[in-house]
């Protein structure tokens, strides 16, 4: 397949993707704009159609007096047991929250809040348990990628927030996403700041709380230090498996 970047033209930063059946769904940051968190679908990861927004009611997100580059940061979209979840941060009010829907073309729920520091939250589901992660400072005062178990119905923390990885050495460690591949846990993150030093790094562990060991050839995706390229500032990433196992 031949295609030209960008595959979604316009102001759509920090994409996150999930796959349900043969369809991919994508969400992006929306910052101070309303409605919030644009939602797209695709059959091939190249041709995308916008099908709505996740935040369409004022009761879902506080955007009054939000400055430019404030508001809704780096959403993550996930699917579990027939339900879609979108989790994000209102960086201006310093609140993590998620909304859910059983109908991807319909309305999303009222927000459910999680009491953890940082930005760029993500959800991971395993064995009927839900894990919530973000960057930030854990309950023991350690900064890094922070994780806890939550009650998915209420957002209540069931375990203390604990730092599971401190990154590969780049500044502004953020945007964590967890995956289980061939029995191992992979933690993908962004480092270097949302600018020209941005990069995707990852670490791997045998258990959900580590010890996570960084990939020796990090970063795995970046255009840092390559001034003049058409696509720059590459950092926030999400993994997806296509219909052919790639």
**Catalytic positions, please?**
14, 174
Give CA–CA dist 117/122, Å, rounded. Answer: 13
Residue whose pair of structure tokens reads 């700041």 in the numeric block: 193
Q: What is the DSSP string of 174-204?
A: EEEEEEEETTEEEEEEEES-SSTT-EEEEEE
Residue 39: count of CB within 10 angstroms of its CB: 24
Is the dihedral angle over the CA atoms 57, 51, 12, 189 positive or is it negative? positive
CB distance 12 to 28 below 8 Å: yes
Single out the residue of 72, 171, 179 nearest to residue 133, CA to CA.
179
Q: What is the largest CA-CA distance in the chain?
A: 49
C-alpha angle 29/101/185, rounded to 5°? 65
Strand 174-181 with 162-165, pairing = unpaired
Single out the residue of 145, 220, 143, 210 nearest to residue 176, CA to CA.
145
Q: Which residues pair with 148 in a beta bridge?
A: 132
């Amino acid at each position: 397949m031949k295609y030209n970047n960008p595959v979604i033209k316009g102001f759509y930063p920090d994409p996150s993707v999930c796959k349900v059946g043969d369809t991919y769904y994508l969400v992006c940051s929306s910052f101070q704009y309303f409605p919030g968190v644009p939602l797209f679908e695709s059959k091939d990861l190249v041709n995308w159609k916008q099908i709505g927004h996740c935040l369409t009611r004022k009761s879902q997100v506080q955007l009054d007096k939000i400055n430019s580059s404030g508001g809704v940061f780096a959403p993550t979209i996930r699917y579990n047991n027939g339900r879609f979840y979108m989790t994000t941060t209102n960086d201006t009010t310093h609140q993590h929250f998620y909304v859910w829907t059983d109908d991807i073309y319909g309305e999303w729920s009222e927000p459910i809040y999680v009491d953890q520091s940082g930005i760029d939250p993500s959800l991971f589901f395993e064995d009927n348990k839900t894990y919530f992660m973000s960057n930030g400072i854990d309950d023991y005062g350690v900064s890094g990628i922070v994780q806890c178990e939550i009650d998915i119905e209420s957002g209540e923390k069931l375990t203390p927030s604990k730092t599971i990885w401190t990154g590969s050495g780049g500044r502004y460690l953020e945007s964590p996403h967890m995956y289980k591949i061939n029995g191992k846990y992979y933690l993908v993150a962004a480092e270097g700041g949302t600018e020209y030093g941005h990069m995707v790094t990852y670490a791997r562990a045998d258990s959900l709380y580590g010890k996570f060991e960084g990939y020796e050839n990090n970063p795995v995706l970046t255009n840092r230090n390559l001034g003049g390229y058409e696509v720059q500032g590459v950092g926030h990433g999400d993994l997806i498996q296509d219909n052919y196992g790639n």
